[in-house]
Amino acid sequence: MALIPMTKQPKTRAIAILTDFGQEDGYVGIMKGVMAAINPHIPTIDLTHDIPPQQIWAARFCLMNAYPYFPKDTVFLAVVDPGVGSQRRSLAIECSQGYLVGPDNGLLSGILTQDPAIKAVSLTNSDYWRVPDVSLTFHGRDIFAPVAAYLASGVTLEALGDSIPINSLVDFPLEPPHITEKKIEGAIQYVDHFGNLITNISSCQVRDKNWSITIDDRMIKSGLTYSDVAQGEMITLIGSHGWLEIAMNGGNAQEQLQLEWGNKITVIFQ
C-alpha cells in the first residue's frame, strides 16, 4: 500500500461509507485511517454504520435509497459481509453516476437497478490491498478501504483486478411485485428506525389510483401524511424514498404488525 503522491494526485472523488460495524469497536475509524494513509485529502461521508448485523437486505435498501443524492463519481464503500473470508468475490463496479466497492453478496444490487453496471472487476490485484496477506475476518480494512481510496484518487477500475461479466453479479432474492388490473402483490423490503415498513412497490405503480393495503385479512387505508389518521392508527402512504410504506401515527408499525423483510403484502385498487 502506497501513499498517492500529491504532485501527481488528480481531483479526488468523495467516498460514502456504509457498514454494519456500529460505532463502539473502532472498526470504522480503522478503515478511515487506512484510506487517509493512502490519500488524506479524500472527503468521506458516513452514510450509516448502524445496519443491523449481517442484514444485507437493509444495507441494499439504504444504499439504493441514498445513491441519487450524492455527487457524480462518488465511490460507495459498503461492507456488510457475513461471507467474509469465504469464496465470495470482492468487487469494484463502475456505473454511469458512481463507483461501488464491496462484497459480491447482493448488497450492491439495489443501486444497479437504478444505474446499471458499465463494468465490474474482481479485486485480485494485491498491489491495491493494504497488505498481501489479508485478514480473513476484516476485508473492510485490508481490501475494500484501500481499494476505495485508490479508486477515489484516480486509479482505474481495470488496474484493481480481473474483469468479470456483469450478468454474473449476485442479485438479492426479493421477487419483484406482481401487478394485475385490480391489485399488486409485493413484499416488505426494509424496516426503518421508526418501525415503518417499506414495501417494494413504487409510487409510479399506484399513481392516479385509489388504493389500500391488505395484510392477511386486515385492510390499511392510504393517505398522504402520517397525521391523516389519529394517534395509534395505521396508515399506508408514499414515503420520501418513493416507495409505499406502512406506518403507525406516533407508533411502531413493525411491532404492531410483526412483519419483517420478505413478508407479503397486497395493494388493492378501489
Judged against a pLDDT cut of 70, whether residue 62 lies above it is answered with yes
Average pLDDT over residues 91-97: 98
Range in 2-16, 114-128, 206-220 with the lowest mean pLDDT: 2-16
pLDDT tens digit sequence for 132-184: 999 999 999 999 999 999 999 999 999 999 999 999 999 987 888 999 989 99
Are residue 211 and residue 139 in the same domain, yes or no? no
Q: How many CB atoms lie within 10 A of CB 236?
A: 26
Domain region containing 182: 178-269
pLDDT tens digit sequence for 198-233: 999 999 999 888 999 999 888 999 999 999 999 999
Number of domains in the chain: 2
Please tell me which residue, 216 or 50, carries the higher pLDDT value: 50
Judged against a pLDDT cut of 80, whether residue 75 lies above it is answered with yes
Position 86 scores a pLDDT of: 93
Are residue 89 and residue 187 in the same domain, yes or no? no
173 lies in some domain: no
Are residue 31 and residue 127 in the same domain, yes or no? yes
Contacts of 224 (CB under 8 A, 6+ apart): 237
- Please, is 247 exposed, middle or buried when counting C-beta atoms within 10 Å of its C-beta (0-12, 13-18, 19+)? buried
Position 7 scores a pLDDT of: 45
Judged against a pLDDT cut of 90, whether residue 9 lies above it is answered with no
Q: What is the CATH number of the domain that holds 76?
A: 3.40.50.10790
259 lies in some domain: yes
- Please, is 96 exposed, middle or buried when counting C-beta atoms within 10 Å of its C-beta (0-12, 13-18, 19+)? exposed
Are residue 17 and residue 97 in the same domain, yes or no? yes
Are residue 33 and residue 136 in the same domain, yes or no? yes
223 lies in some domain: yes
1 lies in some domain: no
Are residue 187 and residue 124 in the same domain, yes or no? no
| Residue-by-residue DSSP string for 61-117 | HHHHHHGGGS-TTEEEEEE--TTTTSSPPEEEEEESSEEEEEESSSTTHHHHHHS-E
Q: How many CB atoms lie within 10 A of CB 231?
A: 10
Are residue 47 and residue 124 in the same domain, yes or no? yes
Q: Reduce the DSSP state of residue 7 to 3 states and report it.
A: helix
Position 175 scores a pLDDT of: 84
The last residue of one of the domains, among 168, 194, 226, is 168
pTM here is: 0.91
Identify the residue whose cell numbers are 474483469.
163
Identify the residue whose cell numbers are 406482481.
178
